[in-house]
Amino acid sequence: MRCATMALCACAATGPAYAQWSVGEDYPAKALREGRQGTTHYRLVISQLGGIDDCIITQSSGHADLDEATCNMLKRRARFRPAKDVQGLPMGDTYSGQMIWRIP
């Protein structure tokens, strides 16, 4: 059974709040200098332990460095409480989201 929304599943983020997954320092320097912005859509593959096994770009921002920075940042900071199967045992899951890159 997969999580339909964060509110309905046991895979709610733990650790830093979602807004804290990204900080201003994460903006790629070259993209910042060149004034590049965009929105990267991603899917995270979450392990049974709540870590990130993989980050898949589902829709590019149009800028490879912003897409790469999205996955690098999420792999470093995002942590989840694992979803549970019908017996209550931890199981892997996925989480989809988007990172909006806007120059501060």
Q: What is the pLDDT of residue 79?
A: 87
Q: What is the pLDDT of residue 12?
A: 40
Q: What is the helix (H) or strand (E) element at residue 72, kind and residue range?
A: helix 64-77
Total Cβ atoms within 10 A of residue 61? 22
Whether the predicted pLDDT of 14 surpasses 70: no
Question: Which of 51, 37, 43, 54 is CA-nearest to residue 104?
Answer: 37
Query: How far is residue 73's CA from residue 88's CA, in Å, rounded to a whole number?
Result: 30
Tokens of 79: 């942590």
* CATH number 3.30.2420.10 is the correct assignment for the domain at 6-101: yes
Tell me the per-residue pLDDT of 27-74, one tens digit each, with 9 for 90 and over.
Answer: 999 999 999 999 999 999 999 999 999 999 999 999 999 999 999 999
Q: What is the pLDDT of residue 52?
A: 94
Residue of 55 and 2 predicted with greater confidence? 55
Contact between 83 and 49 under an 8 Å Cβ cutoff? The reply is no
Q: What is the pLDDT of residue 21?
A: 64
For the chain, the average pLDDT equals 82
